[in-house]
Amino acid sequence: MGPTVNPAGKAKMPTLAAGNKPSARSSALGFTLIELMVILVIMAMATAGVLFYIGDGQQAQLEREGQRLAALLESARHTSQTQGAAVTWQVRPGGFEFRGLNANGQVSIQPWLHPNTSTTDPQAQLILGPEPVMAPQQITLIDLSQPQHRLRISSDGLHPFAMRSEAP
């Protein structure tokens, strides 16, 4: 007698090999909930990355300018205290200058990092040192292309210069 064939053993196992046609049941299933959630998470992360990259360009430029100016003012303040002579900071067209930093009387002129940066007072002047405690002083930076963007750099005379955003 010949070998018997079990009909259940002849059932085909579905595969995704080239040339195989998926059954109607398997193609109707679509994506699983997990797959859809993974795609949504990836899209959300990509969107957040783009938004952080774009950011608010003008405000970020003004903040970089403010950080730089606060650091330069503090440096000049310490130099003034070390040398025992006052240092003056003053706005100039396209930038600002420090007077009294060098013993030979040279003026240190610095341009703004961004050409649209200016101050709300075109005649602004700060006197730094040489006393350890000075009068409270402040300067407000403004972006000329978007005047609602303002940044105040101030010191109460005892603490270092620091940035404070101003609401429009």
Segments making up each domain of the chain, as ranges: 57-166
CA dist 105 → 39, 86, 87, 151 (Å)? 64, 12, 11, 31
Torsion sign over Cα 154, 158, 160, 162: negative
The reported pLDDT for the residue numbered 126 is: 93
Domain 57-166 has CATH 3.40.1370.10: no
The reported pLDDT for the residue numbered 10 is: 57
The reported pLDDT for the residue numbered 142 is: 92
pLDDT along the chain (168 residues), means of 10: 57 60 59 89 89 70 92 91 90 90 76 91 90 91 88 92 75
What whole-number distance in Å separates Cα of residue 46 and Cα of residue 99? 49
The reported pLDDT for the residue numbered 61 is: 87
The reported pLDDT for the residue numbered 152 is: 94
